Every structure is written in structure tokens, then in C-alpha cells.
């Protein structure tokens, strides 16, 4: 009887051990499959390319002035860092942009410093170098290709204003004025991830107030549309 009892206990222990071993193996396989599934599941297009998180971009486009000056081509370079949290959705960037809008017109009244009694006409070329510091947030559409984004930043405007003018057909020479102002930039766009980075299309609005000797109590607001490419490292 005692031998039968020990035999039954041994059988139960063996069965329990087999069940536990089976459950452990099954759990291990499930965990492995889960890990493999997580590893196989695609990260965001940005995170899958951002080993270091560095972003280097170039853009070309055009701008239309909403203030003192008119249309202009523009060129921009961008250096950014995609922060690790949120699958690299947030990028801190520094961007430098050059544009050269122009405007012309006739003064509303004569200037007593100039010869003649007529109002003078002028042509203004505004060379603008800006440096912006800000942030971008990208939205993952979970399609592995497209990420729309929005951004905001502060902008330093370095201005070189060149003026040519005449009054009663007589030129009063070329004049130049430089100044520095602070403004802002708001942007929205879309990254299309191809190759080591992304093609981009971007719409921005930049603005700063200006009150100088040539351009008085006005602004250099502009709406810009640009395309380019960002390398993600």
C-alpha cells in the first residue's frame, strides 16, 4: 500500500513537473514570438533611420511678402537633433535662410534734403539672412512613409537694405542700411521618407517688425513655400 502511495505521488510529481515544463516552454515561446513581433513591427519612419538622431537638410523655394517687400527666391539649410523619446517625434533645429526681396515706389511727398520739389522714386533691394531656433513635432500615420509635422521658432533677422533713387530724373546715389531685428517663424509640412532621409514640402510664415531709416514702421512678414530633402543620421 505504501509502495502504491509513493508510486502515485511520484507519478503526480512527474506529471506536475511535465506540466510546469510545458507551460514554461510555451510561455518562453510566446515571449520570444512577442519579442520577435515587436522587433519586426515597424518603428516610425523617423525612428528607424535616426541612429544618432542628427538631421541635415536643404531647402529651396519662394516667398511672398505680406509687408514692406515683395516676392523672392529663398535658400535654407537646417541642422537638427531628433530627441529619443516618442520615437524621435520631436526635433530641435537651427536653420539659416537667405532671401532677397525687392520693392519700388514713389514717396508720398518731397524730401527737403533732396533737390527739386517733386517726390522721389526708389528701388529697394532687401537682403535678408535669418537664423531660427525652434522645434518640430512629427505625427506618425503608421504607414511607414509619410509624417506630417508642425513647428515654431524664434528668428534673428539680419538685414541689409540697398536703395537706389531719383528725383526729377536726377539720381541721388545709392544708399545702404543694416540692422538686426527679432521675429518668429511658424511652419507646417510633410516628410516623405525615401532612402536615408525624407523629401519635404513646407509652408512657413515668418514675421518681424522693422522701423529703420529706409523702411519705417512696417514689417517683413512673408509666406514661404519650399521643397527639399532631410538626411537622417
Each residue's pLDDT tens digit, 168-200 = 677 777 788 899 999 999 999 999 999 999 999
Q: State how far the Cα of 41 lies from the Cα of 223, in Å rounded to an integer.
A: 39
Q: Which residues pair with 153 in a beta bridge?
A: 134, 185
In CATH, what is the architecture of 46-232? Beta Barrel (2.40)
Mean pLDDT, range 194-207, rounded to an integer = 97
E strand residue ranges, the chain: 54-65, 72-82, 90-99, 102-106, 121-138, 146-167, 170-194, 197-207, 209-210, 218-219, 222-232
Residue ranges of the domains in the chain? Answer: 1-41, 46-232
pTM score: 0.76
**Residue 37 banded pLDDT, cuts 50, 70, 90:** very low
Task: Give pLDDT, residue 216.
Answer: 72
Residue 81's closest CA among 95, 70, 100, 69? 95
Dump pLDDT digits (tens) for 129-157: 999 999 999 999 999 999 999 999 999 99
Identify the residue with better confidence: 25 or 203: 203
3-class DSSP assignment, residue 162: strand
Contact 206, 183 (CB under 8 A): yes
Q: Are strands 146-167 and 102-106 parallel, antiparallel or unpaired?
A: unpaired
Dump pLDDT digits (tens) for 85-132: 999 999 999 999 999 998 887 766 666 666 666 667 778 899 999 999
Q: State how far the Cα of 74 lies from the Cα of 96, in Å rounded to an integer.
A: 11
Amino acid at each position: 500500500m505504501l509502495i502504491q502511495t509513493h508510486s502515485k505521488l511520484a507519478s503526480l510529481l512527474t506529471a506536475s513537473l511535465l506540466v510546469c515544463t510545458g507551460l514554461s516552454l510555451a510561455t518562453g515561446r510566446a515571449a520570444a514570438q512577442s519579442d520577435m513581433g515587436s522587433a519586426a513591427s515597424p518603428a516610425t519612419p523617423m525612428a528607424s533611420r535616426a541612429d544618432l538622431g542628427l538631421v541635415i537638410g536643404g531647402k529651396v523655394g519662394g516667398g511672398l511678402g505680406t509687408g514692406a517687400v515683395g516676392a523672392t527666391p529663398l535658400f535654407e539649410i537646417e541642422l537638427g537633433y531628433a530627441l529619443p523619446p516618442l520615437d524621435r517625434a520631436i526635433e530641435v533645429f537651427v536653420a539659416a535662410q537667405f532671401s532677397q526681396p525687392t520693392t519700388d515706389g514713389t514717396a508720398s511727398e518731397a524730401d527737403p534734403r533732396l533737390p527739386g520739389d517733386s517726390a522721389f522714386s526708389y528701388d529697394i533691394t532687401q537682403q535678408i539672412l535669418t537664423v531660427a531656433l525652434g522645434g518640430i513635432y512629427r505625427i506618425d500615420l503608421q504607414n511607414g512613409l509619410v509624417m506630417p509635422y508642425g513647428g515654431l521658432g524664434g528668428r534673428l533677422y539680419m538685414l541689409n537694405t540697398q536703395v537706389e533713387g531719383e528725383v526729377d530724373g536726377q539720381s541721388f546715389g545709392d544708399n545702404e542700411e543694416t540692422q538686426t531685428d527679432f521675429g518668429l517663424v511658424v511652419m507646417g509640412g510633410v516628410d516623405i521618407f525615401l532612402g536615408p532621409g525624407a523629401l519635404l514640402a513646407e509652408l512657413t510664415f515668418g514675421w518681424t517688425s522693422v522701423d529703420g531709416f529706409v523702411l519705417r514702421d512696417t514689417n517683413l512678414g512673408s509666406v514661404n513655400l519650399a521643397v527639399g530633402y532631410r538626411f537622417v543620421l
